[in-house]
Structure formats: structure tokens, C-alpha cells
Amino acid sequence: MNDANVSPVIALAQALIQRQSVTPEDANCQSLMNQRLQKLGFNIEKHFFVDTLNTWARKGHSQPHFCFAGHTDVVPVGDEAAWQYPPFSGTIENGMLHGRGAADMKGSLAAMVIATERFVQKHPDHKGSISYLITSDEEGPFINGTTKVVDLLEARGEKIDMCLVGEPSSRNVLGDVVKNGRRGSLTAHLTVKGKQGHVAYPHLATNPIHKVAPFISALTETVWDNGNDYFPATSLQVSNIAGGTGAGNVVPGDVYVQFNFRFSTQVTADELKSRVHNLLSNFALEYDIEWIVNGLPFLTEPGPLLDVTLDAIKEVTGIQSTPETSGGTSDGRFIAQTGCKVIELGPLNATIHQMDECVSTDDLDKLALIYERILEKLLT
């Protein structure tokens, strides 16, 4: 439902939530945003790759170039009957806006647009450029979204200097955490080979489970690095193991092991791969392995973007924010690889991807004020 007394930020957030944009669908969310941006003088480009709609919108041609980045797609709602309020209703109750995407991240998108409208109306001749990079596949395979638009911009030499991603970064109160970097993610799909046979005749078989066990032990006990001032030490987790035919009297012919590194800037993906291959050789394993680099680590050190963001949060909320690099990956990793400074700032993440996802209406209004102050500090 819509409430005629709600602020412009909340009204736009409700309108976005009411569009059922389950990944990779956009459900006209970007059109709704683009109509408003176009009125402000933004040039709108729509880029559709395979199943994903992306928007590149830019106002101005000079530096510094500041970009808002985000996604209109949301994760599936699951059992709709289990929600307190219909997941695409945008219901407001007791100061909370309910619905899928309220926190991740349609509330942030609404705050961005309203902040931009207010800023441009107050400062029509602002310096530099403002842009929007919006995708509908961040919650999906992230193949045809932000990374493709970044490739397009790189190919034509269009550079972003600073980027704010509206991911829900806050932990306990709005603005208490700003993400100024993310760890890299590297996944291994390992198949260790043996020889199938009867368990009663082990001399005629080679059990790959027995052979891989000491390797896994060594893998999990290895210290990969000690982290640094901005990142914790690189971590490794074994996430899946599969082997055997299901029969109790058969030695399996192979075993599959999946493991993932979350790594800091102290080590590269190639270095991690090399050390794993050395371990595999040390245990004389016959194997196949497939590596997938899900994202490289990035870091925005103290400087204009981070300093301005921390100041804006303090001015609006009165709290001193903490920069962190914890958590998973985001589309910021694609933008950061171009040399752009990237931060993530959004509402509380307590209910994201859950049933009854919700966000404080007061927090969204304050978030728009923070975004507006960042624009003023950087572009006036």
C-alpha cells in the first residue's frame, strides 16, 4: 500500500518494491528510476545482455566522476504465505517498510535518486559528473550485469573516479559500518582419482577418500597469510565432499572436494593456486581441478571518498562510522578493478534475504541525506 503522507524517498522505495523483480527480472524498476534521472539532464543508456537489463546513466562529462551503483533484482521470496505482509506490497507498519528488496537494495536506490534530485536542484551547475550503473543480475550469476557494463566503459575509455554501492552495510544502526573493501573469493572444484573395487579386496583397489583425507587436513591447517591493517587473514573452508556409490561394499573410484578461499590483498589468486598444487603434489594425488575466481580483493584507503563519506555520516547521524572489509562479495569488485575508488554504504543488513525483510523508514530518509551530503562535499 502507499501512504500519501510518506516522504519522497519512501514513496519511491514502495514503488520499486511493488515491482516483482526477482533476478534477473527488472520489472520496469530501472525505467522508473530513469524517467526521474532523465528530467535532471542524465543521458540514459540501456544495455541488455542475454537475460539482464542494465542502465548506464550519466550527467556531465568532466572529472571528478562520481557513480552510484546498485541492483534492482531481488532474491526469491520463498513461501509467500509465511510473510507477515505480502512481500511485494511495500507495507509500512510502525515505522518499518516491509517487502522483498526493502533493505537489499531498493531502499538504497530510492535514497540515491532522491538525493540526486535534491542536489541537482540546489546545485544545477555542480562540477564534475554523476552517473548510475544499475543492473538486474547482482543476485544471480552476475555474468551479464555490472561486469559487462564495466567492460563496455573500459573499451571506450570512460573512467569512474569514485563509486558508492548501495549494499546494506550497516550492522546495528544506520551508518555504523562502511565497507571500504572486500576480500577476494576463489573456489576450487577438485576430483581426486582412485580405483574402484570391492572393500574385501583393498589390494585390488585404490581408495581416493583415504588418499585425500591427509591432503584436506594439511589444507585446513595451512596459514596462507596473516592479513594486514585492513583485512583479516585469508581463510579457507571446505564446503562440499562427495564420494562413493552408495553401496557399503564398494571402494569408490573418485572423490569430489569443493573448497573456497576468502583472501586478502596479501596474496594473489595465482599464489593460492600454486600452493594448493604443491600440496597436491606432496601427497602424490592423481587429480583434476577447476578454479573459479569469483572476485578479486579491493581496498579504498583513507582519502577523499572515504573521508567525505565518514564526515557525511557523522553530520547526519552523529555517529563515527567504522570502515570494514568483512562480508562476502559485491558488484563493487568489478568496478574497483578499473582503478576506481569504491565504498559500500546502505541500511541495516539484519533482514536481507530473509522472510519479512524490512527497513526503517527513518533510516532511508537519513540515508538520502547522507548521500546528498556526499555529493555536496565532492562536487561543489
The three three-digit cell numbers of residue 84, written as one number: 507477515
Grid cell 600440496 in the structure block, residue? 279
Q: Are 273 and 259 in contact (CB under 8 A)?
A: no
Grid cell 561543489 in the structure block, residue? 380
Q: Are 298 and 180 in contact (CB under 8 A)?
A: no
DSSP state of 199: T
**151 in catalytic set:** no
CA distance 84 to 358: 11
Q: Are 146 and 69 in contact (CB under 8 A)?
A: yes
Beta bridge partners of 241: 257
**73 in catalytic set:** yes
Grid cell 582503478 in the structure block, residue? 339
3-state secondary structure of 72: coil
CA distance 130 to 160: 9
- Whether residue 104 is annotated as binding a ligand: the answer is yes
- Whether residue 356 is annotated as binding a ligand: the answer is no
Q: What are the DSSP E strand ranges found in the chain?
A: 43-49, 52-59, 65-71, 92-93, 96-98, 129-135, 162-165, 177-179, 181-182, 184-193, 197-198, 235-243, 250-251, 254-263, 287-295, 298-299, 322-324, 341-344, 358-360
The three three-digit cell numbers of residue 350, written as one number: 539484519
- Whether residue 353 is annotated as binding a ligand: the answer is yes
- Among 73, 117, 137, 365, the active-site one is 73
- Whether residue 98 is annotated as binding a ligand: the answer is no
- Among 25, 117, 137, 138, the active-site one is 138
The three three-digit cell numbers of residue 98, written as one number: 516491509
Write out the binding residues. Answer: 71, 104, 139, 167, 353
The annotated binding site for Zn(2+) is made up of 71, 104, 139, 167, 353
* Residues involved in catalysis: 73, 138
